[in-house]
């Protein structure tokens, strides 16, 4: 008896099955990663010792329940906040030990001594909307980033953002320990001192 | 002699679709690899605010999500329109945050616990009272690394 050839399996519907799966994954896919503003909360421990900060080293930002901004006891629009914060942080009005050699501000004695001493104090009310709060946070972080970028550009000819991107990039060729040191140096020169009043 | 038969002219040969499954499979694999499934169904409205000074939140397995916002329309009859917190798949109260954080920590390997970040996905119309309360709870639990999840865009878009 002649051997029969095994019948071929019909693969015509394979495409349909694959399409079905494809559409399922297309629908459930979210490719983008989340982005956001990272913050660190202060720890809970009670320390009774009051740290005394000179009034001129504090930059108060108050957001009221109607989403209005009160910056250093004056009403301000959101768009002016970044500039005001930069001016405050970069003032460098200190003398002697507190002098700031890299500040480019007005060196006014009535504003902050140096970026290390300067503290931004943010206070909000319970009725403040979240979007306004985020906008203000964003502007303040932007002020710090602007100063850091400027300083990094001066020292190393590359912006702070790029330095950080390089540091996170696994394919970047170069000395990462040195880069880390540079990033830390910029961070100590313009530390983010943003305190939130509860 | 019909050994070299002339091909019939004029009729178009059918295009072979044999490679179609291959192409589709290729696409399928791409999406399978790139997919991250939505883990929770949202019970609250979640329109995130915009910001441009943002950092990326990689390492999705090290992120704990806390959602907050107005309950979605279909839950409003039951839960009202006041902003609520959502943990995992259900509405939660402030006191549920601490057990949630502890449970999340217990499910991770010990050396990864200090690296955990809490992502606050809060609706842009929520008020800060709720957010401050959440932050206070997180401080009590010593979960200090937080991230206000935002969309990338100019802050002026937050106005409306």
| Cross-chain CB nearest to A134 (options B38, B60, B158) | B158
ipTM score here? 0.74
Q: Do A38 and B55 touch (CB under 8 A)?
A: yes
% of chain A surpassing 70 pLDDT: 94
Note the CATH number of domain B50-151: 3.30.420.270
Q: What mean pLDDT value characterizes chain A?
A: 83
B residues 29-48 closer than 8 Å to A (CB): 31-32, 34-38
pLDDT of residue A128: 86
pLDDT of residue A48: 60
pLDDT average, residue stretch A68-81: 85
Which residues make Cβ contacts (< 8 Å) with residue B109, sequence separation at least 6?
Answer: none
CB atoms within 10 A of CB A195: 13
Residue with tokens 């509405």: B91
**Per-residue tokens: A26:** 């297309």
Q: Is the pLDDT of residue A44 over 80?
A: no
The pTM assigned to this predicted structure is 0.77
Which pLDDT band, with edges at 50, 70 and 90, does A186 fall under?
Answer: confident
R_g over Cα of chain A? 27
pLDDT of residue A32: 65
Q: What is the mean pLDDT of each run of 10 residues along chain B (160 residues)?
A: 64 80 84 72 84 82 87 85 86 89 88 88 87 89 88 78
Tens digit of each residue's pLDDT (9 = 90 or more) over B80-104: 888 889 888 888 888 898 999 999 8
Closest residue on chain A to B119 (Cα)? A36
Q: Do B25 and A134 touch (CB under 8 A)?
A: no
Return phi, psi of residue A104, to 5°. -115, 15
Q: Do A35 and B150 touch (CB under 8 A)?
A: yes
pLDDT of residue A22: 83
Report the C-alpha gap between B12 and B57 in whole angstroms: 55
Report the C-alpha gap between A171 and A173 in whole angstroms: 6
**Per-residue tokens: A54:** 């000179």
Q: Do A22 and B122 touch (CB under 8 A)?
A: no
CB atoms within 10 A of CB B5: 7
pLDDT average, residue stretch A29-42: 79
Which residues make Cβ contacts (< 8 Å) with residue B62, sequence separation at least 6?
Answer: B108, B112, B115, B116, B117
- Chain B residues in contact with A69 by the CB 8 A cut-off are none
| Cross-chain CB nearest to A30 (options B38, B124, B127) | B38
Cα–Cα nearest to B149, from B48, B71, B64, B45: B48
Helices assigned H by DSSP within chain A = 14-28, 78-89, 130-156, 160-168, 176-189
Cα–Cα nearest to B157, from B55, B52, B54: B52
**Per-residue tokens: A71:** 């910056």
Nearest chain B CA: its distance from A113 CA (Å)? 26
């Amino acid at each position: 008896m002649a051997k029969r050839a095994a019948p071929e399996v019909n693969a015509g519907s394979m495409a349909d099955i694959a399409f079905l799966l494809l559409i399922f994954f297309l629908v459930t896919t979210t490719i983008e990663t989340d982005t956001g503003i990272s913050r660190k909360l202060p720890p809970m421990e009670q320390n009774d010792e009051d740290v005394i900060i000179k009034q001129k080293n504090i930059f108060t930002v108050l957001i009221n329940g109607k989403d209005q901004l009160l910056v250093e006891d004056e009403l301000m629009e959101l768009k002016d906040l970044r500039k005001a914060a930069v001016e405050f942080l970069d003032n460098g009005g200190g003398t002697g030990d507190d002098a700031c050699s890299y500040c480019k501000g007005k060196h006014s004695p009535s504003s902050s001594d140096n970026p290390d001493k300067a503290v931004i104090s943010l206070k909000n009310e319970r009725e403040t909307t979240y979007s306004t709060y985020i906008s203000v946070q964003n502007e303040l972080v932007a002020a710090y980033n602007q100063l850091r970028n400027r300083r990094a550009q001066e020292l190393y000819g590359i912006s702070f953002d790029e330095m950080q991107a390089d540091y996170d990039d696994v394919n970047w060729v170069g000395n990462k320990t040195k880069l880390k040191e540079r990033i830390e140096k910029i961070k100590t020169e313009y530390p983010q001192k943003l305190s939130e009043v509860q | 002699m019909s050994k070299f038969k002339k091909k019939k002219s004029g009729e178009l040969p059918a295009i072979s679709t044999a490679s179609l499954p291959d192409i589709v499979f290729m696409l399928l694999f791409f999406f399978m690899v790139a997919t991250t499934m939505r883990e929770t169904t949202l019970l609250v409205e979640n329109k995130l605010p915009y910001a441009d000074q943002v950092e990326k939140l990689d390492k999705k397995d090290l992120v704990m999500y806390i959602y907050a916002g107005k309950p979605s329309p279909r839950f409003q009859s039951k839960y009202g329109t006041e902003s609520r917190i959502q943990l995992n798949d259900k509405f939660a109260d402030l006191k549920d945050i601490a057990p949630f954080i502890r449970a999340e920590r217990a499910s991770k390997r010990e050396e990864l616990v200090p690296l955990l970040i809490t992502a606050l996905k809060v609706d842009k119309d929520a008020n800060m009272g709720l957010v401050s309360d959440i932050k206070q709870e997180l401080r009590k639990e010593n979960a200090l690394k937080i991230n206000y999840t935002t969309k990338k865009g100019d802050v002026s878009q937050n106005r409306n």
